[in-house]
Structures are given as structure tokens and as C-alpha cells.
Structure 1
Amino acid sequence: MRGIAGTCELTMMRRVGIEEEFLIVDNVDGHAVPLGEVLDSLSDDDGLSSEMKQEQIETCTLPRTNLEELAQDITRRRLSADATARFVGARSVALATSPLPVRSTATPGQRYERMIERFGLTAVEQLTCGCHVHVEVESDEEGVAILDRIRIWLPVLMALTSNSPFSNGVDTGYASYRSQAWNRWPTAGPCEIFGSAQAYHAQVEEILGSGVLLDKGQIYFDARLSHRHPTVEIRVGDVCLHADDAVLLAALVRGLAETASRDWRRGKEPAPVSALQLRLASWQAGRFGLGAELIDPQTNQPRPAFEVVMALLEHIQPVLGEQGELSAVEFLLFQLLARGTGADRQRTAFANTGSLCGVIADAVKVSSLPATLLRDVADPSLLTSKQNS
């Protein structure tokens, strides 16, 4: 998360930033093309960088307290990535997996070469694009308290962002096949409750001491303390097809983080849900998205997806209301529920065109649409904070 360094003193609202990974596809036929390093070298945008595979590019927003400014950042980064790709006959598209068959190419470098050597086919085949949200914290102790308390809601975020039904030429049957592919890494997935920063760091050191991983960067927990910034990093989301959904994800994550911190300070213990139960909930969310039941994190029982999403909104509603974001989040959330997820849009595009190339062409168009700037739906405090910033 660029722009956050050193010890942070929290203001009224936590700063939040987003990293989005995009697939690079040929402008004519939609096949993934290995141009990541080329785009990185051509771009003058310091928020654009290459990733593990040459067929993808990553963008990174500035840390923001204001959702409107974050929406503008997301839009600007998306347009910048796509404009740079168009310069070399390609497009940047918000797809979490490649609908068409692809043999991905590792980006040159010692670390990536070691990853391919160590992890074999898992690394060779890994070409997935996620959306990672960073929210600032005042200490590792607060950060771990947040991780322990938001973990039960992460499968719901996965369902909301599901955007990878097609992979390598087939309909996978999943709303988020990226979650299946990503969970092949040895540390990916949910964790048990840590209880303290000391316990978290001890767990990380024990994992590193096993010799399985190359470095701390491969601690691929669904949510983790960043080892570079004073943030918690939530990593369960597919890259969102719609920019508005990325803004929504950031707002939901920040609401969850602030709610969790307040619960911790009041002495409220985290829900005692096992990592195995959360893995089941994540599988259900990745398989069906919002198209079937989700596992209710408060009862561990199946429940209609809409009701579980409403339970999430109710859980963070006090914080959203206090911070002037409730109307904006409600607008973005009900918009998503009305039109469907990225996975829904992809399957509709396939039904309409009968072609995976048609799916990609539609996704290219949608990915470039600007995020709603929230002026018509946001509380006045949002606009005031922007004018005073």
C-alpha cells in the first residue's frame, strides 16, 4: 500500500487502499499475452507494476480515507493500465482467470524462478488475478485482533467479488475458480484464531522455519498483517469486473476492521469458528457466489445468500453510519445484488454470444467503465472531507 510508512496515528477514519491484478489479453482474439514487463517499462504510472506471470499487471491505489477519492484512483489506475496495453495491441481486463486456454509465462527474476522450481505445476499453472485490500492499523496487536474477528465474514466477501467462472476454455462450475486455484499454495486459506500479535508472529516464524516457503511474501493467509506496511491485508477477493465493486469491497473491509477493533477494545472475544468450518464456508462461496446459499458465519448453517449479505451489512452498519458511508455502501451493495456478480455477467455474456471471446470482449468493455463517484448517493460528510483534504 503505497504512501503509508512508519508508525501511523489513526485519524477518525482508517485509510484504505487496493491492489488490483488484471489479465493482459490480445486486442483481437482475447488470448492472454505475456506483456507484463513491457507494460511496466512503458508506463509512467508508479501505481502500475508487473507480477509473477507476464500475462498480468498489477495496479495500486494511494491510501485514502474518502471513498470518492478511492473510486477516482481505481478508475484512473484501470484506465492507465488499459491505455498502456492498447499501445502494444493488447487490453487490460478485470478477469480473475483466463477464459481461453493459456500457457502462462513466468516473469524473469530469481525469486519467480525459485518459486517455479519449488512449487512445480502449482506455480507453473498459477495465473489468477485478485483484489487485495489494505486497511491501516495502529499496531500489530490491533491488527491481529482485527484478523481474529473479521475471519468469519471473509467467505461473504469472496462471494460478492466472485469473477472467475471460466478457466482455460471451460466453464469450471465455480463462481470463483480463482479461489480453487489459489488455495493450492501451502499457506493459502483461513487461519485459526491467533489471540495475540506474539502468537501470530510465532506462527509465521514456525512456518518459515519449516523451509517450505521462500520468504514472508509467501504467507498467503486469507487475511494477514502486511510485512511491508502498518496494515491488515485482506486477500480473498477476485479482481472485480466492475470498478464500483472494488470500491464496495474496500468500504466493507474498512467497516469490518473498525467494527472488529471496537469489539476488541470492549473485550468482546472473536467467534470461536474453526478454520475447517471457514474452509467449508469459503468453498461454498467460491462454488456458488451469490447464486445459492452461503454459510451463515453467526450460526454455521446454510442460509440464503441475500440474508447472509444483509447480516454483514447489519454487523457494520453502526460504523458506516457514524462515518457517513452507509448510504454510499447501500447503493453500491444493492446495485451489485441487482445486476449480479462478475461471474454472473460472464455467464450471461457467454449465453448471449456463445463464445468465450465474446465473454472477454464484454469484460474489456465493463472493466474500463469509471466507478460511480458517489456524489448523488453519498452523505455530505464524504464530500466535505474531500473538500477539506
Structure 2
Amino acid sequence: MIRTVGVEEELLLVDAESGELQDLSAAVLAAVSHEALRGGNNGVFQAELQRQQLEFATSPRKTMDDLAAEVRRWRAEAAHRAEAMGAAVAALATSPLPVTPSLGFSERHRWMGDRFGLTAQEQLTGGCHVHVSVVSDEEGIAVLDRIRPWLAVLLALSANSPFWQGRDSQYDSYRSQVWGRWPSAGPTEIFGSPDVYHRLVQTLLDTGVLRDEGMVYFDARLSKRYPTVEIRAADVCLDASTTVLLAALARGLVETASREWATGAQPDRHHVTTLRMASWQAGRYGLDGQLVHPLTMRPAPAEAVVHALVDHVRDALHDAGDLALVQEAITSLLTTGNGARVQKDLLERTGSLRAVVKECVKRTQT
């Protein structure tokens, strides 16, 4: 069985010349909805927490070629929609330039703003969420329990948010720091069974802190809407090719974990606090420096940890036909750097955060 994969990407709406964010999501979505009434695409684009963001979701795909084509299609369509409003889109996980976020108009978004104050009002971040199909909640929980140590590596690969409010944050993924302010965000302990998972989710809701299950922001969770495991640890990727790499690795992780479960292999029992350390390290340094090795929980060069991930999922990648794609993409990414490295290099070359955004607008569609 080849598992299906789908991705959600959260993009920024920006002025193509100045790089400043534009609160145009409502206008873009209104135009999309009007066209949908005449038989156009519907349900692909969605509103996010802030009006300077636009999200799209792909269909479930079995091949990485098909997924890549759809990611590029919807990025181009988002750019077209933004252009009609005098703007552009950028696949950046935070805004390099100073910005005052504008909460969405929905009752849910207003509730979040009132409930969480500055945490919600300042929360202008873009993630990449990967959905991988599973056949049951039992399999899904077995997967969640076994992929936990590897999610920080996906964050390091995707890291694409070095700047915050016009300043160098000194993190490769400052998005991960901002996102971690939500009370339900981050890695989880081992669940062991669907009953334990669902009881925990209900307990979180019963506290009254969260509005609904959509606010259970675990790094990986069971999707409420689809028969999938949803992996949510990554920044939105600057280049579409990195998004596809993440999707292939995510599918490899899910398949590898399922095979381990089927053979009775137990998950690594790293404490959630240690996993937080690994996630922090990945967000701080990305691919430049050391990561926490998922097997030993000790420092190791980022390149060695990335190759350890590929080795861990190698059989699953081979069986899905993704091994060559992943190896090529990893080689390229380790050579050129992740999105954070690209942004830092652009700033060093141009001396202008506006120029950084302008170049990233172009790269979003390549």
C-alpha cells in the first residue's frame, strides 16, 4: 500500500515592491468564493488567524511528482489572486519587516484574540502541515508514539523564519518560538492507545482553556477531519522542492513507524522535556551547527543527523519510489542551506530586508 500525502501551506500576503504585509485575505477569499459559485475551485484556500495570511491545502496524492505539481499550482494561483488585489505572496514563516498583525473577522478568531491576548495578537507565523494516511486510530497512535524523536529534524530542514519585527532573531526558526506560546503546542508523551489520546484531548477541552479540538496544537496529531496523521512541526518552506522533501520524509516516517508497530518494536521512551530541548536546538540552529540526535539525545552535527533520518526511513522511501528524490533534495539542501540560510545570505548581500522579501516572493513560485 502506498500511503497518500497532502500538505497545507500558510503564505504571507505582501506588497511586491515594499515587502510590507497586506491584510487582504478577506478580499482574496471573497473573490475565490465568487468564482466557486460559477464552478471554479472551492475549498482550496482558507483564512488564517491573521488577515495578512492565506492558506491552501492540496488533495491527497500518492506520488511526489503529483504533489509537487499541485503545490506549485496553488502557489501560482495564490500569487495570481494576490496580484489581482495589488499584492504578492511569500512563503515565509515570519515577516522579515516590522508588522502589526490584524486578527481575522470570524467569531472564532475574535474569541482567540480575547482569550489569549498578545499571544494571539502577535501570532503571525506560517507553517507547513503534512497529512499522511493511516488505516485506523490504532495505527495512527502507534505512529505518533514512534515518530516523536524525528520531528525536530523536520523543523531543522524547513527552518525559514530568522527575522522577527525587523530584527535578526538569531534563530533559524523563530516561528517555532512564537508558536510555542500556545498552551497546547509542542511534543507529546507516548500515548499507547487511542483511548489515552482521546481522553487527553477531551481533558484539554474540559479545562476551558481551548475553544475546540482544532486548537490542540501538538507537533503531530490525529486529524479530526481526515484519516491521517498530521505532522505540524515544520515552518512553511521557501522553496516548493523543500515542501515535497518534507512530505516524502513524513510519509517515510509514518510507514517506518507502522512497520515497527507491526513487528512489536517499542517506541523510544524519550521524555517530552528532552524532546523540547531537541526542538529548541533545531529551531535555534537549523542545519548550521549541531542537532540533538533522535536516537541518543546527544549533540551531533546536523548533516549526520539528517543522514540518520534518511537511513531510518530508507526502506520505506525505497518502497514508495522516493529514495532518489530525497537523496538529491537532501544533498541540495545541505549545500545551499534551508530558507533561513537563504534569507540571511540575501540580507548580507543586499543589506535590505525589503530586498529579502522581494526575492523570496520570486522564489515562492519557482
Residue matched to 1:6: none
User: Following the alignment from structure 2 to structure 1, what is the Cα–Cα distance between the partners of residues 152 and 72?
Assistant: 26
Of 331, 334, 341, which aligns to 1:334? 331
Residue matched to 1:356: 353
1:159 partnered with 2:148? no
Amino acid at match of 2:24: L
Residue matched to 2:362: 365
Secondary structure in 2 matching 1:63? coil
Structure 2: gaps of 5 or more residues = 36-40
Residue matched to 1:147: 144
Tell me the matched-pair count. Answer: 358
Amino acid at match of 1:126: Q
Secondary structure in 2 matching 1:97? coil
Residue matched to 2:238: 241
Residue matched to 1:322: 319
Secondary structure in 2 matching 1:365? helix
Residue matched to 1:261: 258
- 1:81: Cα distance to partner? 0.3
Of 257, 273, 292, which aligns to 1:295? 292
Of 167, 172, 176, which aligns to 1:170? 167
User: Following the alignment from structure 1 to structure 2, what is the Cα–Cα distance between the partners of residues 368 and 161?
Assistant: 17
- 1:323: Cα distance to partner? 2.1
Amino acid at match of 2:321: G
Secondary structure in 2 matching 1:212? coil
User: Following the alignment from structure 1 to structure 2, what is the Cα–Cα distance between the partners of residues 208 and 30?
Assistant: 39
1:40 partnered with 2:37? no
Structure 1: gaps of 5 or more residues = 1-11, 370-389
Percentage of matched positions with identical amino acids: 50
Residue matched to 2:38: none
Spell out, residue by residue over 1:313-367, the C-alpha distance to the aligned partner (whole angstroms, 9 max, x if none): 0000011112221111111111111111000000000001101001101101111
Secondary structure in 2 matching 1:264? helix
Secondary structure in 2 matching 1:272? coil
Amino acid at match of 2:206: G
Are 2:17 and 2:358, in contact at CA under 8 Å, matched by a contact in 1? Answer: no
Of 193, 199, 207, which aligns to 2:190? 193
- 1:28: Cα distance to partner? 2.1
Structure 1 length normalisation: TM-score? 0.91
Structure 2 length normalisation: TM-score? 0.97
Are 2:16 and 2:361, in contact at CA under 8 Å, matched by a contact in 1? Answer: no
Residue matched to 1:77: 74
User: Following the alignment from structure 1 to structure 2, what is the Cα–Cα distance between the partners of residues 329 and 136?
Assistant: 20
1:210 partnered with 2:207? yes
Amino acid at match of 2:139: E
Secondary structure in 2 matching 1:297? coil
Of 40, 46, 51, which aligns to 2:48? 51
Secondary structure in 1 matching 2:268? coil
Secondary structure in 2 matching 1:73? helix
CA RMSD in angstroms, aligned pairs only: 0.7
Of 246, 266, 278, which aligns to 2:275? 278
Secondary structure in 2 matching 1:228? coil
Of 12, 20, 25, which aligns to 2:14? 25
User: Which consecutive aligned stretches of 4+ in structure 1 deviate over 3 angstroms post-superposition?
Assistant: none
- 1:136: Cα distance to partner? 0.8
Spell out, residue by residue over 1:141-179, the C-alpha distance to the aligned partner (whole angstroms, 9 max, x if none): 100100000010000000000000011110000000000
